[in-house]
Amino acid sequence: MPSLSGLGKESRQRLAEITRRTQGTVSVSQAAEILQLPSHKTAKLLARWAQQGWLSRVRQGLYVPVPMEARTADVALEDSWIIAERLYSPCYLGGWTAAEYWGLTEQIFRTVVVLTTRKPRNRRPKIKGVEFLLRTVPAQAQFGTQPIWRGQVKVNIADPTRTILDMLDDPILGGGARPTVDVFRNYLGSDKKDPQLLIEYAQRLGNGAVFKRLGFIAERYAPNETALIKACRARLTQGNTKLDPSLPANRLVSAWRLWIPAGWAKD
């Protein structure tokens, strides 16, 4: 836990210029361009400032400025969404993170869900006290997102319909099947509801399990959505799948080719 130590006049000016011209994070390449220094010299300079407590290292070659009022460099991330964009781009925020943003859930999740084209070895990293849940998606699946601004940084987030689709594709992104159903019902009761777009997104994603889960959930919890249920039934693929792959399932709903847990059969 490095404490803050003094900076000379030139270092203060350099650091101030870097902080002014960067957006929440500082990389070696950014600082080298700003200071007009070779990358290896810049890397050493940033590392020294981190040792002195004026920068906090996020990963090799990436830092966040330490607020002037801080007593040590052991600070929490000011904006984890910016860090996600810097570390995992091309990416977007999704799952329960997006559901919270769009007001589709009242649950509070501390972990940030990121869907990225990258293939990180650690799918649940913890960075400066913030936990991330990472899922790899192909480049062609990076659709249905909206840009939002966090200060001067543009971050992509799943739109409400894509949020539902991702939870149906991988229920763990919604916290499991039960919370996913709650988010889906809130979606249907909101002005963000767009069943046709939901079908279009599901077709584009190309995962037959999505139609099975969506049709089953819609028929059980939103039976008036007849057009949506009919569209799902028309797109059923061969084979059986689980409602929630993370849970044991011992009852087959043959109409939807879906294995469900015993507790769901009693609902």
pLDDT in tens, 149-158: 987 789 999 9
Q: Which of 139, 133, 193 is nearest to 163 (CA)?
A: 193
User: Does the 9-65 domain belong in CATH 2.170.16.10?
Assistant: no
Structural domain boundaries in the chain: 9-65, 80-265
Overall pTM surpassing 0.85 (yes/no) = no
Environment class of 239 (CB within 10 Å of its CB; exposed 0-12, middle 13-18, buried 19+):
exposed
Residue 172 amino acid letter: I
Residue type at 81 in one-letter notation: W
**pLDDT for 64-117, tens place per residue?**
877 654 444 454 456 889 889 988 999 999 999 999 999 999 988 989 999 999
Q: Which two tokens stand for residue 8?
A: 């000379």
**Residue 3 in 3-state DSSP?**
strand
DSSP state of 17: H
- As a whole number of angstroms, the distance between CA 58 and CA 64 comes to 7
